[in-house]
């Protein structure tokens, strides 16, 4: 959830800090006090475009900082994003800081590491969903509408995802071969190269040719040196023979000198190791082939190997073996191009049929979920004041896509007698926000967004409908943190935490303050929102609204 939002030198706000709680947080205050500035600040730390005009007059830069506390799947999603960028994350705390310069410059930090606006957008998409007049509302996007439907219906994508992956792979292989034109000179070159490499008979063992060649080239010197070493180790006057002779001497010493008791075992071990070393040297010497014909054969083999490595840009024999395999495969594809194209086209056709079949099964599940979602959202909309509104989910077949074979559109008919049209085409920002509230109420337990922000979604609503809006937001707040800007006292009274934004003029400059209100201070704020002269009647009405909230908990 969002724990804290700190703003400095942003528009009319010199410095202000809002501390939020879990549940429903309501922000109230006079028009122009700075509530919209706070929403702008939250949009900045979630990746919105910045304009130097937002910097407070006379200041060099505006600064916004947000602190989030995370857990569960949201924390894991954030960890995945930050791990890819090499940014430290302790698994529970995320801080985001952004500055906007009066000269148009700007900087971003995530957990005190320099970052980018693109990263803020990624994080913002996971953490915060803003709905209101200034927001680019996600509910109007097809990807959101489809995702919400699939979440509501608990739709499993495994089967379709496998079919889609198979189709993409087949299409890629076909496209690669179709885009290639097999020039005759390339075929000739491949045939020559494959023939040359096959004739050479290169194997991984050829990587030891250089060692064998060096040994054969210096066979005489190596044999003399090996004989000298074995004589020194195991000859009549060798080291091993000397150790054997001193064994009885050490045994005699051990009778008179306790320190000598372990020397015998050490001499035995040294003797064995020297004898083993002598045998190893002798074995190596015996494998050295001093025959001139052998040396000539190795010399020729080494020459062939080096020439092929240079020609094909390979570091060793193993790489030459891999090069041969690749060139043979390429030659086979080109020589059998027409045949391979036919095979790949059949493979694509089969994969498309598989994707369509899996997509049809997915569409059937979506259709069933769409009917239930439409009925549930329509009921919520009636509660929110759209007494005659109709909400439905339209599914239109399309070619296989990563998400299936359906286009999804939320249809909204706010007025009776008029046909429902796509929500994105007809809904005002207030209507769209209330549709989102209804939708979130229905799918809240399926939704993964951490923080929901509703900016004046209860505009032009009053009375009982206004109280219902507040109750719906509080209901959604059981599964999400909700932040709501409102001018409606019925909605404000439903909040778990109430923040009041106010402004004052000091030294000829406007300053904004944010403070949490409780008890009598909250009653006064609700009374102010009710309007009219401050009177016992207004205060009792305010107390009654807050009392209804407490009794409803």
Percent of the chain predicted with pLDDT > 70: 83
The 3-state DSSP class for residue 398 equals: strand
**Helix/strand/coil for 479:** coil
Tell me how crowded residue 299 is: count the other CB atoms within 10 A of its CB: 13
Q: Say if residue 261's pLDDT is above 90.
A: no
Task: Return the domain boundaries, the chain.
Answer: 2-159+356-516, 201-335
**pLDDT above 90 as % of the chain:** 28
Give the residue with greater pLDDT, 488 vs 460.
488
Looking at per-residue pLDDT, the higher value among 153 and 244 belongs to 153
pLDDT score for 139: 73
**Residue 133: which of 64, 49, 43, 25 has the closest Cα?**
43
Helix (H, G, I), strand (E, B) or coil at 399: strand
Confidence of residue 533 (pLDDT cuts 50, 70, 90): low
DSSP annotation of 55: B
Mean pLDDT confidence for 476-505: 89
CATH of domain 2-159+356-516: 3.40.50.300
State the helix-helix crossing angle for 337-383 and 142-152, rounded to 10 degrees: 80
The number of C-alpha atoms within 13 Å of 553 and in the hemisphere containing its C-beta is 11
Most confident of the ranges 6-20, 129-143, 454-468? 6-20
Asked if the model's pLDDT at residue 362 lies above 90, the reply is: yes
The sign of the torsion formed by the CA atoms of 346, 350, 351, 356 equals positive
pLDDT for position 253: 77
Top mean-pLDDT range of 12-16, 75-79, 197-201, 392-396 = 392-396
Residue 293's pLDDT band, with cuts at 50, 70 and 90, is low
Question: Is residue 183 predicted with pLDDT exceeding 70?
Answer: no
pLDDT of residue 292: 63
pLDDT of residue 436 exceeding 90: no
| 427, pLDDT greater than 70 | no
pLDDT at position 317, please?
84
pLDDT in tens, 205-245: 776 666 665 555 555 455 556 566 666 666 555 566 666 77
51-65, 92-106, 219-233, 434-448: segment of lowest average pLDDT: 219-233
Per-residue pLDDT band for 459 (boundaries 50, 70, 90) equals low
Sort strands 497-506 and 24-28 into parallel, antiparallel or unpaired.
Answer: parallel
Q: What integer is the mean pLDDT of 399-410? A: 94
What pairs with residue 10 in β-bridges?
13, 55
DSSP characters over 224-292: HHHHHHHHHHHSTTSHHHHHHHHHHHHHHHHHH-GGGGGHHHHHHHHHHHHHHHHHHHHHHHHT----H
The rounded distance, in Å, linking the Cα atoms of 179 and 171 is 12
Q: Give the pLDDT score at 149.
A: 92
Instruction: Give the helix ranges, DSSP H, for 336-462.
Output: 337-383, 423-426, 429-443
Sign (positive/negative) of CA torsion 310, 315, 320, 323?
negative
pLDDT band, very low/low/confident/very high, at 365 (cuts 50, 70, 90): very high
Contact 297, 213 (CB under 8 A): no
**What's this model's pTM, rounded to 2 decimal places?**
0.62
Give SS3 for 210.
helix
CA 217 to mean position of chain CA atoms? 59
pLDDT tens digits, 103-124: 989 999 999 999 999 999 999 8
| Average confidence (pLDDT) over 365-386 | 90
Q: What is the pLDDT of residues 297-322, one digit of tens each?
A: 667 777 788 888 888 888 888 888 89
Q: Are strands 451-455 and 128-131 parallel, antiparallel or unpaired?
A: parallel
The tens digit of pLDDT for each residue in 80-92 reads: 999 988 899 988 8
**Local confidence band at 270 (pLDDT 50, 70, 90 cut-offs):** confident
């Amino acid at each position: 959830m969002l724990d804290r939002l700190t703003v400095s030198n942003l528009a009319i706000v010199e410095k202000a800090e809002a501390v939020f709680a879990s549940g429903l947080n309501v922000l109230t205050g006079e028009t122009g006090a700075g509530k919209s500035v706070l929403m702008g600040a939250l949009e900045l730390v979630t990746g919105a475009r910045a304009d130097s005009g937002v910097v407070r007059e006379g200041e060099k830069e505006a600064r916004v900082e947000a602190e989030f506390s995370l857990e569960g799947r949201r924390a894991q999603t954030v960890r995945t994003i930050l791990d890819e960028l090499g940014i430290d994350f302790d698994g529970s705390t995320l801080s985001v800081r952004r500055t906007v310069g009066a000269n148009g410059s700007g900087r971003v930090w995530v957990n005190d590491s320099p970052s980018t606006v693109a990263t803020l957008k990624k994080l913002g998409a996971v953490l915060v969903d803003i709905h209101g007049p200034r927001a680019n509302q996600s509910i109007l996007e097809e990807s959101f509408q489809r995702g919400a439907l699939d979440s509501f219906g608990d739709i499993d994508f495994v089967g379709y995802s496998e079919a889609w992956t198979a189709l993409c792979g087949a299409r890629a292989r076909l496209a690669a071969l179709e885009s290639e034109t097999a020039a005759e000179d390339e075929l000739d070159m491949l045939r020559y190269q494959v023939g040359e490499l096959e004739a050479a008979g290169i194997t991984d063992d050829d990587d030891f040719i250089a060692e064998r060649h060096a040994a054969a080239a210096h066979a005489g010197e190596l044999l003399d040196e090996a004989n000298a070493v074995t004589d020194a180790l195991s000859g009549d006057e060798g080291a091993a023979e000397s150790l054997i002779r001193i064994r009885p001497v050490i045994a005699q010493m051990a009778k008179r000198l306790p320190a000598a008791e372990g020397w015998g075992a050490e001499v035995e071990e040294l003797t064995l190791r020297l004898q083993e070393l002598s045998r190893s040297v002798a074995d190596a010497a015996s494998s050295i082939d001093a025959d001139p014909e052998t040396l000539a054969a190795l010399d020729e083999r080494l020459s062939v190997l080096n020439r092929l490595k240079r020609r094909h840009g390979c570091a060793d024999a193993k790489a030459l073996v891999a090069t041969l395999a690749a060139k043979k495969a390429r030659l086979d594809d080109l020589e059998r191009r027409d045949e391979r194209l036919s095979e790949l086209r059949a493979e694509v056709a089969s994969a498309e049929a598989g994707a369509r079949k899996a997509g049809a099964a997915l569409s059937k599940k979506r259709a069933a979920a769409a009917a239930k979602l439409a009925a549930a959202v329509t009921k919520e909309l009636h509660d929110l004041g759209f007494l005659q509104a109709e909400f439905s989910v339209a599914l239109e077949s399309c070619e296989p896509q990563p998400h299936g074979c359906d286009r999804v559109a939320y249809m909204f008919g706010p007025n009776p007698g008029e046909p429902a049209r796509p929500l994105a085409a007809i809904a005002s920002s207030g209507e769209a926000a209330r549709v989102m509230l209804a939708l979130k109420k229905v799918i809240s337990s399926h939704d993964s967004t951490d923080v929901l922000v509703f900016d004046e979604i209860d505009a032009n609503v009053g009375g009982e409908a206004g109280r219902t809006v507040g109750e719906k937001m509080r209901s959604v707040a059981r599964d999400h943190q909700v932040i709501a800007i409102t001018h409606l006292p019925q909605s404000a009274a439903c909040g778990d935490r109430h923040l009041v934004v106010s402004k004052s003029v000091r030294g000829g400059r406007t300053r904004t303050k944010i403070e949490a209100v409780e008890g009598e201070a909250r009653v006064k704020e609700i009374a102010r929102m009710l309007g009219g002269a401050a009177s016992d009647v207004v205060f009792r009405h305010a107390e009654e609204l807050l009392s209804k909230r407490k009794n409803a908990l």
